[in-house]
Amino acid sequence: MNTRRAAVVLASLAVVVIVSITCFNFFCFGQQLVYTTISVSDARAMLQFSSNVLVVDVRTTEEYAQGHLKGAINIPLSDLPLQISGLEQNRPILVYCQTGYRSAQASSILVNAGFTKVYNLEGGITAWINSGYPTVNP
């Protein structure tokens, strides 16, 4: 098994473990760890009025290269469990993907890791673009 494939398998297992812990905590202890899903307009306002927001694009590197939100860093969902320790837990984080599915998964992973200010962009970059907001195209 090559190194990249092994890393993907390890990251996938980490995601499964984190999701399992979330379900266990919710059903056994009644703990519901939550993130906030926000609209495109609310996300844009957040980015305009706060310079402290970390924007995380959880799409693949190839998707990110096709265009992304200004200032966004790229951490593909499969790599998030391996890179989560490098993120500031108390900093607001806006997470997005193409349509909102992967970013919801990433938001859950972040919340379960102790992050308290996690915002999931509803509809992802597709909704952002459809609202006429700009993206960075390298």
Residues 6 or more apart whose CB falls under 8 angstroms from that of 56 comprise 72, 73, 74, 75, 87, 93, 94, 95, 96, 106
* pLDDT single digits (tens) 95-124: 999 999 999 999 999 999 999 999 999 999
Q: How far apart are CA 32 and CA 25, in angstroms?
A: 7
Residue 11's pLDDT band (boundaries 50, 70, 90)?
Answer: very low
Q: How many domains does the chain have?
A: 1
Question: Does residue 23 have an active-site annotation?
Answer: no
Catalytic residue among 18, 80, 84, 97: 97
Q: What is the pTM of this model?
A: 0.77
Q: Is residue 21 part of a domain?
A: yes
- Interval 127-134 mean pLDDT: 97
Q: Is residue 50 part of a domain?
A: yes
**Residue 92's pLDDT is what?**
97
**Residue 6's pLDDT is what?**
52
CATH at 121: 3.40.250.10
